[in-house]
Amino acid sequence: MPEPTPSPAAVDATVVVCTFRRLRLLRACLESLIAQTNPFGAWDVVVVDNCPDGSAEATVRECGERLAEHGVEARYAAEPKPGVSHARNRGLAEARHPLICFLDDDERALSGWLATLLEPFATLGEAVDIVAGEVDPDFGDSPRPDWLADELLEMFSCRWGWDTKPRYLQEKEWFGEGNVAFRKRLFAGVGFDPTLGRRGDALTSSEGVVFTLLRHQGARAFYAPDAKVSHFIHPERLSKKWLLRRQFFQGISDCQAHRLIGKSPLVPRITIELHKVLGVDFDRLSTAELKTYCHVYHRLGYFVAATTT
């Protein structure tokens, strides 16, 4: 880790949790925060409910009482506009502290998560703008499929694996939106694009391309591998067909993201023998074959987005 520099201010942070009709998972997420501490300053929690029925309010109130016993305020905010990008933007607006930490509702903070995620801000001061942590998969009661090799886990937003030691991230090293801390002032005049991100049944993503844009503008990103959360892998996603569908939409998302940061999409050349593709029994694909098809589906999604928008 680089030599410490004096921090100009206390490292006060707001943990933002965006949620949508996942009450059991949300409860586990909020309960995981009870054991967290910020030895560098104050902290609070904001839960942004993207459900128009306000289904999470009672859960937030109940878990908030337990957090309050530990001196941590938990606040509820409703965001009626559908889409995770709208929810994240509401979280930005609701945050009271200069640092914001995002934690998804299907994630649980592991031991020491908050302190480890905020430590680079305390030790390196203004030399750090963004800190990303590591994500471990949680399969719950479902067995991990034999075909789900470690190298496929990143497609489930897990195991970035950039290093075993804290360090600055290189330009092409990415991170997710579910375990990241950043300076709120970076978002003055910018936000999460509502045309990106998960909406309904569409498996689009890349709302976090705003972090790529900020890094292009000079924001310095740091990797803290010991700032870990566990990410629940939903049972319905543990299929090869779901993974291929997810990669198709990731291709669409990547094309949209390239446009957003001013990068002209490069239309990939694709040759597909439809009689072979349509006849594939995806459940019988080996791990190596699945990786190849994931690449093809990603390129196909990118091609569709690049040639139709």
Q: Judge whether 7 lies within some domain.
A: no
User: Residue 8 falls within a domain, yes or no?
Assistant: no
User: Has residue 299 been placed in a domain?
Assistant: yes
pLDDT score of 174: 84
99-103 and 13-19 as β-strands: parallel, antiparallel, unpaired? parallel
Span 9-43, pLDDT tens digits: 579 999 999 999 999 999 999 999 999 999 999 99
Q: Are residues 227 and 267 in the same domain?
A: no
Query: Of the candidates 46, 114, 122, 113, which has an alpha carbon nearest to the alpha carbon of residue 79?
Result: 46
Q: In sequence order, what are the beta bridge partners of 181?
A: 101, 131
Task: Establish if 2 belongs to a structural domain.
Answer: no
Q: What is the pLDDT of residues 281-294, one digit of tens each?
A: 888 888 888 988 88
* Residue 153 belongs to domain spanning: 13-237
What pLDDT is recorded for position 276?
56
> End of a domain among 212, 237, 262?
237
One domain, residues 92 and 81? yes
Token readout for 189 is 């005049």
CA atoms 45, 194, 223, 138: torsion sign = positive
Q: Which helix (H) or strand (E) holds 28?
A: helix 23-33
Q: Are residues 228 and 303 in the same domain?
A: no
Residue 1 lies in a domain: no
Query: 3-state DSSP call for residue 48?
Result: strand
C-alpha 249/C-alpha 254 separation (Å) is 9
Decide which of 219, 237, 255 is a domain's last residue: 237
Residue 5 lies in a domain: no
59 belongs to a structural domain: yes
The number of domains in the chain is 2
| Residue ranges, the chain, pLDDT below 70 | 1-9, 197-207, 265-279, 309
Distances (CA, A) of 244 to 158, 216, 249, 269, 281: 17, 30, 9, 19, 13
Residue 170 maps to which CATH number? 3.90.550.10
Q: What is the pLDDT of residue 35?
A: 95
Residue showing tokens 């694996």:
161
Do 114 and 230 fall within a single domain?
Answer: yes
Q: Is 125 in the same domain as 218? A: yes
Residue 220 sits in the same domain as residue 275: no
Shared domain for 50 and 76, answered yes or no, is yes
232 and 180, same structural domain? yes
Instruction: Based on the fold, state whether residues 53 and 140 are members of the same structural domain.
Output: yes
Residue 153: C-alpha distances to residues 30, 148, 198, 225, 286 (Å): 24, 7, 19, 16, 16
Look at residue 220 and tell me if it is in a domain: yes
| End-of-domain residue from the set 201, 217, 237 | 237
The answer on 69 and 89 residing in a single domain is yes
DSSP label of 92: H
Domain check: are 299 and 184 in the same one? no
Q: Are residues 263 and 157 in the same domain?
A: no
